[in-house]
A and B are shown apart, each in its own frame.
Chain A
Amino acid sequence: MKAVIRVVNAFSGLGGWLAVIMICLALGLALSEILSRSLFNKTLYITEEYSGYLMCTLTFSSLAYTLRERGHIRMVFVLRALSARARHFLNLACHTVGFVFGIGFTVFCFLFFWDSVVSGSQSMQVSETFLAIPQAFMPLGALMLTLQFLGEVFKDILVIRGDTAGLTLTEEADDLGR
């Protein structure tokens, strides 16, 4: 179980780095558009379209990383009112719900992506980009999220068993951008 947790954590970390690359690319693109418009009175034509794709990629790539870092919000007042043991069981239940949701989300995102592959859908913009390319990050990100939920389920089981040696247990974030 611990090996799975380590692999899943590393995989989610990679997703985080992928999201970082996407936000940097989006920054570069937006600044290039501003410079091109201001200095040469020309537009890059693809800025709006590609900013959207990068946002989608960024969002899906970072879902699992954010879960790993306890970044997704949930109402914790019931959780905090419970005893430590009950809290671990409720966490296990929540992570299992998340895992089941993740499986469905991955399947539906994959079918959506595959539909674009089969139909060869292209954007209606000047770039005529194959939509399957940015959409490929949807099932990938959803899969990473599902695996992270599975890792969290394993983590909860180990915590309940009291076998936490070598595990990093992250606290719920309280102040995320709110």
Chain B
Amino acid sequence: MDLTSISLTLTGLLIVFLGGAVWIGISLFLIGAGGFLIFTDLPFGTIMANIAWNNTSGSAMMALPFFVWMGEILFRSRISSNLFSGLAPWMDAIPGRLLHVNILACTFFAAVSGSSAATTATVGKITVPELNKRGYNRMLAMGSLAGSGTLGFMIPPSMMMLVYGIIGDVSIGKLFIAGFIPGFMIAGLFSGYVFLVCLVNPRLAPRGEDRYTWNQRLRAIPQILPVAVLILVVLGSIYAGWATPTEAGAVGVAGSIVFALATRSFSRQALRESLFGGIKTSSMIMLIVMGAAYLSVVVGYLGITRKLTTAVTEMGLSPYMLIVILSLLYILLGCLIDGFSMIVMTTPIVLPMVEIAGFDPVWFGIYLVLMIELAQITPPVGFNLFVISGLNNDDILHIAKAALPFFSLMCAVVIIITVWPRLVLYLPGLMRGQ
């Protein structure tokens, strides 16, 4: 059988398994095993066990449960609601007012949590009722939350970057630091957009009865401090080269527990729930990682990656054209599958192509995370849409429509970082200890 037929057979089987609601990790394992059995004479079982061991026994992987656990602790403690109280007085005088809190709180929370859905849920559970109560424009409130929630993946620590770093063998520390500028750029663009539309139409964000003095604003700062300190310690230690991402994750967990206890919002039950939530998410990701690693071995062994890379090279596409095609492909994929699956299924095939086209693997990681952020707010599988729908019972398509301007702004950031890749690569270049 020729390589094209083999590729089409494997892809067809994958679609059948995934569409048939078989778990993603198990589907990947089964297709990999099928590929080995049908098209090679290699011992597929021995390779399966070896891959499972090699992909779970690396110390870098331990960062994953740590960062997930840290986010779970913050989600369950009062630290997140204090963030709203600390930021709200500062935004009161700006057109857009509390809508900026949606964006800023997501930015802050994203810097201590690696998850987009956790960021959206944590910030949304506080801001959605407040904004509804104060008569803010519902579309703008939902859209800004949906868009800003995706920053959970871009601003480090990020579970997506961790998984990409491990699958693509790219420095996780560099990926984390590279996410800063694009992340803040997105937050800045979102805030700028909210500022402009509310300046033109102030009724979108009406001024409430609350009036804050400078004294109140200054007194609100301590409420933001726990998150700010965690950001500094966790990310500062990676940036300065004092700690590996795993150690930084451990410090983040310890710090979150200390702050949660200090705010008297961390019960034994919250500790138990955060632990089980952490292991559940980690286990879910690890099954996919193992399955994808197994499938990528058979894909590599059969020469599919090499053939695809050669074919794309022979097409003589310019690097920009390649990114345009990949972007369309990822946006389409994002409508159908979740972010983790997008990373693990495409990285082994696409990364060699983009490297040949002259793109840096760290840059590509950030680009890929941006594509996944877009997927978070595209129906029908946009998880942020589900989270917001759970918060205010709105229709998924209605929320997706509200998020459309923010989707467009993120597309603009994709263009900006493609034209000026240095925006992504500048900070990693300054890192020590890498």
Contacts and interface: CB of A to CB of B under 8 A. Distances in A.
Contact of A73 (B46, B58, B66, B340): B340
Interface in A1-59: 16, 19-20, 23-24, 26-27, 30-31, 33-34, 47-49, 51-56, 58-59
B367 to A, nearest CB: 19
Interface in B250-266: 250-251, 253-254
A175 B383 contact: yes
B45 A71 contact: no
A84 interface: no
B56 interface: yes
Contacts, number: 199
Contact of B279 (A19, A49, A73): A19
Contacts of B278: 23
Interface in B1-32: 18-26, 29-30
Contacts of B56: 52, 55-56, 59-60
B282 interface: yes
Contact of A178 (B50, B53, B115, B249): B115
A135 B281 CA distance: 22
Nearest to B285: A177
Given A75-B21, A112-B53, A107 B45 contact: yes
B318 to A, nearest CB: 34
B275 interface: yes
Contacts of A76: 21
Nearest to B71: A177
Interface in B357-402: 376, 380-381, 383, 386-387, 390
A108 B46 contact: yes
A177 B118 contact: yes
Interface residues of B, number: 71
Contact of B121 (A33, A47, A112, A175): A175
B89 to A, nearest CB: 30
A112 B62 contact: no
A105 B23 CA distance: 15
Contacts of B82: none
A167 B159 CA distance: 34
A51 B276 contact: no
Given A27-B253, A31-B254, A51-B246, A93 B50 contact: no
- Of A16, A66, A90, A94, chain B has the most CB atoms within 10 Å of the CB of A66
Contact of B340 (A27, A93, A178): A178
A138 interface: yes
B49 A112 contact: yes
Contacts of A23: 65-66, 69, 275, 278-279
B49 A74 contact: no
A178 B336 CA distance: 14
A90 B19 CA distance: 11
13 contacts: A23-B66, A23-B278, A55-B62, A71-B281, A72-B287, A73-B288, A75-B18, A91-B21, A105-B48, A111-B49, A138-B49, A176-B281, A178-B340
Interface of A: 16, 19-20, 23-24, 26-27, 30-31, 33-34, 47-49, 51-56, 58-60, 62-63, 65-66, 69, 71-79, 90-91, 93-94, 97-98, 101, 104-105, 107-109, 111-112, 134-135, 138, 173-178
Q: Which 9 A-B pairs have the closest CB atoms?
A: A112-B49, A177-B281, A30-B250, A108-B45, A62-B283, A51-B59, A66-B283, A56-B56, A52-B57
